[in-house]
């Protein structure tokens, strides 16, 4: 059995957020947010990551760049303040090169980055965000990346014991015979960090698990050790894409390389996406 139940979003874990905020991490959330963005014409947008772990570390930064482009193209960017609040001291702590690019390009676009700002609650009536060890901050539109939790069924089971599923780093086997776990439902520590919750690493894990199972059934040994290899793309707006390749559990840990943002790199992202759409759904986008 391969457990791949992902991570659940817990917007209710941040008091006031369900009533007073928006999110784009679920389809219903993004569908609810879009028309609000469209009619928003002036004021302050707070974009916040509530805590870790959260899926796809670059995604919230991409959202900030997209907000900038969206309102610039509407001709009202100068009427809108975009502030991004993150609990961490730096964005993307495992990818310093990408973090520097984010900071530089935020500054160029007048997107304010507030590090060590952990939003703990919203006061929807007063339109204020409560921030740990800081003064409350006013907002007109609040967008947050909800707290992530292991699915309830996992928390309730012996697999999760109240948390994420722990696995053998090498082959992603759990403590239970013939039971593996891959993807967002797992917690795989890497020093102070952990293998990020991203599809690229779920996919890499799946390959390792399949080889392990094939070996058990047929004796054909094509097994490899899980290195948590994956490539993520970070959109900086205007079609500029950076490629971040990481190996979290290889010899030098974690090893992260960055291909600087360019319009050319977008082709890599497009072909990555087309490849998966084609393999999984026999569908290719133009």
Q: How crowded is residue 278: how many other Cβ atoms within 10 Å of its Cβ?
A: 12
Q: List the interface residues with ligand FAD, window 144-203 (CB under 6 A).
A: 151, 153, 183-185, 197-200, 202
Say whether residue 9 binds ligand FAD (CB under 6 A): no
Look up residue 55 and give its two tokens: 């899926």
Question: Are 207 and 182 a contacting pair, CB within 8 Å?
Answer: no
C-beta of residue 141 within 8 angstroms of C-beta of residue 21? no
Residue number with the shortest CB distance to ligand FAD? 183
Distance CA 103, CA 121 (A): 26
Nearer to ligand FAD, 79 or 283 (CB): 283
* Cα(111)–Cα(214) distance, integer angstroms: 50
Bridge partners for 249 per DSSP: none
What six digits make up the tokens of 181? Answer: 């776990």
CB of 75 to ligand FAD, least distance (A): 27
Taking the least distance from each CB to ligand FAD, the nearer of 137 and 181 is 181
Touching ligand FAD, residues 94-133 (CB under 6 A): none
Is-contact 77 65, C-beta < 8 A? no
Residue 150 beta carbon to ligand FAD: minimum distance, rounded to whole angstroms: 10
Q: How far apart are CB 153 and ligand FAD at their closest, in Å?
A: 5
236 binds ligand FAD (CB under 6 A): no
Q: Give how many residues touch ligand FAD by CB under 6 A.
A: 19
Between 131 and 241, name the residue whose CB sits nearer to ligand FAD: 241
Q: In the stretch 201-220, what mask flags binding to ligand FAD with x, by CB under 6 A?
A: -x------------------
Strands (E), 155-213: 180-181, 189-190, 193-194
Question: Based on CB atoms, which residue is closest to ligand FAD, 5 or 90?
Answer: 5
Instruction: Establish if 259 lies at the interface with ligand FAD (CB under 6 A).
Output: no
Applying CB under 6 A, among 22, 25, 50, 61 the residue interacting with ligand FAD is 25
Identity of the residue, 136 or 194, whose beta carbon is nearer to ligand FAD in the bound complex: 194
3-state secondary structure of 257: strand
Least distance from ligand FAD to the Cβ atom of residue 205, Å: 9
Question: 2 in helix, strand or coil?
Answer: strand
Q: Does 234 bind ligand FAD (CB under 6 A)?
A: no
Which H/E stretch holds residue 16? none
Tally of CA atoms within 13 A in the half-sphere of 131 that contains its CB: 22
232 makes contact with ligand FAD (CB under 6 A): yes
Of 114, 26, 102, 38, give the one whose Cα is nearest residue 65. Answer: 102
Report the residue number, 20 or 151, with the smaller CB distance to ligand FAD. Answer: 151
Beta carbon of residue 25, minimum distance to ligand FAD (angstroms, whole number):
4
């Amino acid at each position: 059995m391969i457990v791949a139940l992902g991570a659940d979003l817990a917007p209710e874990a941040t008091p006031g957020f369900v009533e007073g905020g928006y999110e784009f991490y679920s389809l219903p959330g993004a569908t609810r947010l879009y028309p609000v963005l469209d009619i928003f014409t002036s004021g302050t947008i707070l974009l916040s990551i509530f805590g870790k772990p959260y899926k796809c570390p670059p995604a919230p930064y991409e959202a900030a760049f997209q907000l900038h482009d969206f309102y610039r193209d509407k001709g009202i960017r100068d009427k809108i303040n975009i502030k991004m609040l993150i609990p961490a001291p730096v964005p993307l702590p495992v990818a310093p090169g990408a973090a520097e690019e984010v900071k530089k390009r935020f500054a160029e676009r007048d997107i304010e980055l507030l590090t060590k700002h952990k939003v703990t609650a919203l006061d929807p009536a007063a339109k204020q965000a409560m921030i740990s060890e800081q003064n409350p901050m006013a907002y007109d539109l609040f967008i947050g990346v909800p707290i992530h939790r292991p699915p309830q069924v996992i928390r309730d089971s012996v697999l999760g014991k109240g948390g994420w599923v722990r696995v053998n780093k090498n082959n992603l086997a759990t403590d239970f015979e013939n039971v593996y776990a891959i993807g967002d439902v797992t917690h795989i520590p890497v020093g102070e960090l952990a293998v990020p919750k991203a599809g690229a690493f779920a996919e890499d894990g799946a390959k390792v698990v399949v080889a392990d199972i094939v070996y058990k059934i047929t004796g054909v040994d094509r097994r490899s050790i899980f290195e948590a290899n994956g490539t993520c793309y970070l959109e900086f707006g205007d079609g500029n894409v950076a490629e971040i390749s990481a190996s979290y559990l290889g010899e030098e840990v974690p090893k992260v390389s960055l291909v600087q943002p360019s319009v050319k790199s977008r082709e890599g992202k497009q072909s990555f996406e087309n490849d998966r759409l084609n393999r999984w759904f026999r569908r290719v986008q133009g």
